[in-house]
């Protein structure tokens, strides 16, 4: 019985070591980014805005709150969990975002689960965004047009 207890204790202690099957590990900090190795899979909303003042025509991803903890942040960094794709052409093709939206609309959005790697957190105090390479996508919902921002 003593051997079984040891075996169970060893198994219980080993589970936390096996649990993080995915994740990002800081590789280096350079050029205004914290660069990470590894990959993550997150759920959320992909967006393509043709008229963003800062990003221009870019496909980005807003991570659901349930998966936000997978996005690395330094202490005190309270930004929301989102990033733009390094491989924009792949993202456009994956989410079938090739055509401009109808008149009066300035982009598309839809839901998906994505796996990304080569994650880099933007660390500067100016305008910028995290970036990641799209590896794969699943549960991709059909892109819906998004109305242009009208201001107040």
93-141: per-residue pLDDT in tens? 999 998 788 888 999 999 999 999 999 999 998 888 999 999 999 999 9
What percent of the chain is modeled with pLDDT above 90? 62
Q: Phi and psi (nearest 5°) for 5?
A: -60, -45
Looking at the predicted structure, is the pLDDT value of residue 78 above 60?
yes
pLDDT at 47: 96
**Whole-number Å distance between alpha carbons of 144 and 132:** 23
pLDDT at 6: 45
Q: What is the pTM of this model?
A: 0.81
SS3 state of residue 70: helix
**Whole-number Å distance between alpha carbons of 86 and 92:** 11
């Amino acid at each position: 019985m003593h051997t079984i207890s040891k075996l169970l204790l060893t198994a219980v202690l080993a589970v936390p070591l096996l649990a993080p099957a995915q994740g990002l590990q800081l590789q280096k900090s350079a050029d205004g980014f914290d660069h990470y190795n590894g990959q993550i899979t997150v759920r959320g909303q992909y967006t393509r805005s043709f008229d963003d003042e800062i990003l221009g025509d870019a496909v980005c991803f807003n991570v659901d709150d349930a998966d936000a903890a997978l996005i690395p942040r330094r202490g005190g960094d309270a930004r929301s969990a989102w990033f733009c794709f390094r491989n924009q052409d792949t993202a456009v093709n994956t989410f079938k975002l090739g055509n401009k939206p109808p008149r009066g609309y300035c982009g598309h959005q839809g839901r998906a689960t994505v796996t990304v790697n080569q994650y880099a957190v933007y660390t500067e105090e100016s305008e910028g965004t995290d970036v990641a390479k799209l590896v794969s996508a699943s549960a991709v919902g059909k892109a819906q047009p998004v109305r242009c921002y009208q201001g107040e």
